[in-house]
Structure 1
Amino acid sequence: MVTAAPHRRSARAEAAAGGLTVFAAVMLFIAGILDVFRGIMAIAEDDVYVSTPNYVFKFDLTSWGWIHLAFGAIAVMVSIGLFSASTWARFAGVGIAALLIIANFLSIPYYPVWSLTLIALYAFIVWALCVVQRDKVTDESRR
């Protein structure tokens, strides 16, 4: 029985993986701050948003504000964990970005262009966190 030698990645591949984690951390931090502001806007002043009377997922705009405020605050905290390249933050980052994609999808009728912009941004975050190989993240967290 022949065993294969362990696969060694090049320094270039490792640098790219680390760069994607930093990209995801920075983007999650920025998008989280923007969602916090969006939540504050909805809580404080309902006039900013478009009114949609016959929407299936209709909530009071104040409710949407609290949802975005809470998810945005969690996203900011998770992004801080991503700067230390911890595995829990990577999984939590994918989870919170996915939840924020859903929340922004459901709030498209209230703020369409901004919701679509944030959906794209969170999709890039999920992509960046998922393409980084697990052994790279665990190696960095051991240092």
Structure 2
Amino acid sequence: MAQQSPSTSPTGAHRDRDVFDSRSAWAASGTMFAGVLLLIEGVLGVIKGITGIARNDVYSQVGDYVFKFDVAAWGWIHLVLGIVLAVVGAGLLKGALWARATGVVLAAVSIVLNFMWLPYTPIWAVISIAISGFIIWALCNDGGRARSAGA
């Protein structure tokens, strides 16, 4: 009698599927959390933007820095990026496929802009960079759901 390997036996296949399902559940949860974080990051960006536009002296620059923009200009940058991030976050929460790739790209742009924003609010800029890094990780790690939707 031929012996079946664990992956081809009914119990082995079931066990492999359970592992895949649990990974997919974690990835789907990560994507949902990334959508919420994008939405929150967008709302915070809008608030940062409005604050920078309304009062040019709210943020103070720490030392001399290469990227010298007026605070009002940074306010407009944060306002526009915040609106777009919030829209993409809402799209992710609704399950829109376009929002995944757009979310990765916008999170990468957010990392670069927050790096340039470091002299104005160093702690919040580092926190925003970390959040954007998690968003990229979560959206790129959700391959199981994308593969199962295409099959």
- TM-score of the superposition, structure 2-length normalised? 0.81
CA distance in structure 2 between the partners assigned to 1:52 and 1:46 by the alignment: 15
Aligned to 1:136: 145
The letter for the 2-side match of 1:109 is: P
Equivalent position to 2:93, from 83, 91, 97: 83
Partner of 1:12: 22
Q: 5+ unaligned residues in a row in structure 2: which ranges?
A: 1-7, 9-15
- Residues 140, 44 of structure 1: CA spacing in aligned structure 2 closer, same or farther, 3 A cutoff? farther
Match of 1:74 among 84, 90, 93: 84
Deviation at 1:89, TM superposition (A): 0.5
Q: Deviations over 1:42-101 (max 9, x none)?
A: 101122211356321101110100001101100000011111323211000001111011
Gaps of 5+ in 1: none
Q: Which residue of 1 aligns with 2:37?
A: 27
Counterpart amino acid of 2:43?
I
Matched, 1:46 2:51: no
Matched residue of 2:78: which SS?
Answer: helix
Structure 2 counterpart of 1:108: 118
1:122 equivalent in structure 2:
132
How many pairs does the alignment contain? 136
Deviation at 1:138?
A: 6.2
Q: Partner of 1:117: helix, strand, or coil? A: helix
CA distance 1:91–1:61, shift in 2 (3 Å): same
- Alpha-carbon distance in 2 for matches of 1:23, 1:69: 22
RMSD: 2.2
Paired AA for residue 96 in structure 1: L
Q: Percent identity between the aligned chains?
A: 42
Please give the residue correspondences for 1:91-102 in structure 2 after superposition, counting only pairs within 5 Å: 91-102=101-112
Tell me, in whole angstroms, the C-alpha distance in 2 between the residues paired with 1:63 and 1:52. Answer: 17
Deviating runs (4+, > 2 A) in structure 1?
7-11, 51-54, 84-87, 137-142
Tell me if structure 2 keeps the 8 A contact 1:36–1:69: yes
Q: Provide the TM-score with structure 1 as the length reference.
A: 0.85
Contact 1:86 1:137 in 2 (8 A): no
Q: SS where residue 54 of structure 1 aligns?
A: coil
Aligned-partner SS, 2:89: helix
